[in-house]
Amino acid sequence: MSYRCFQMAREKLIDNIDGELRLDVATPRQVVYILVEVRKFLEQQKLQRHFPALTFFCNWAVHSKGVGLGAERILKRFDKVHGLVGPDGDVSRLSPQLQQAIGQTVNLSKFKDDLRNFLTSINLSTSLIDEPRRWTAFLANYSDVIQDCPLISNKSKVIPQETINIELAHLKTITIKRENQIEGAQVAANQQVVFGTRWILTAKNGDTGEFTMQFTVPKTNTDTAPELLPQSS
């Protein structure tokens, strides 16, 4: 009986995720709903550590402060960067591996890869991720959800009987801001800007720094400076 009920709950969550993914994800509310259902599934099936990036980004969407599984890795990565680049922000001091890791964080590619692998594992379509306009719209709405919800350095209980203690040398918080476009960022002629993000690093001594990312999609013949999404306020 208990096994059957467990299976019924599993299938219900899959149906909920599938039903929402079949729609155009056009609002932050839809993004939150999808990630809440994904998070429930990961917790019920004890799969958080199999999909660490996905678990982290789901948690960030439903908490007012981004803490927990995955936050430790990201915070420590940015903390190392802050200590290396110095006041002039010279990223050439970073190793190629660290530059790549930071790039994959701010462009949310780890989130993308983990979500694709998760959907494939439960036999759901990955069209949301594979279609550039749908995925970029999803990320824009996700950015609306998490902006102003800082990643913080503290103790966080993330799964039963497990507490992560994040000790950083330099940083206090990391906060994301969504913008319509990153000023001064170069855009290829065949690309259209959808939105941009700023990852703002606040140090314990009050200093701040930032990484920026601009999200674009290929232009089509019908694109004459249209608005793909409502503009961020």
C-alpha 229 chain-centroid distance: 18
Does residue 59 have a pLDDT over 50? yes
Higher pLDDT, 232 or 197: 197
**Higher-pLDDT residue of 74, 115:** 115
What are the distances in angstroms from CA 173 to CA 18, 78, 86, 195, 202? 35, 10, 17, 23, 5
pLDDT in tens, 118-149: 999 999 999 999 999 999 999 999 999 999 88
Q: How far, rounded to the nearest angstrom, does the alpha carbon of residue 26 sit from its chain's CA centroid? A: 17
CA atoms in the 13 A half-sphere facing the CB of 24: 5
Residue 174 confidence (pLDDT):
87
Rounded-to-integer distance, Cα 57 and Cα 36, Å: 10
pLDDT at 156: 46
Mean pLDDT of 179-187: 82
pLDDT of 90: 78
The Cα 224–Cα 226 span in angstroms is 6
**How do residues 24-37 score in pLDDT, each as one tens digit?**
889 999 999 999 99
Q: Which of 56-60, 85-89, 172-176, 228-232 has the lowest mean pLDDT?
A: 228-232
Please state the separation of Cα 204 from the chain's center in Å.
24
Q: Where are the alpha helices (DSSP H) in the chain?
A: 2-21, 28-44, 52-62, 71-85, 96-106, 109-121, 127-130, 132-146
Query: Comparing 7-11, 47-51, 205-209, which segment has the lowest mean pLDDT?
Result: 7-11
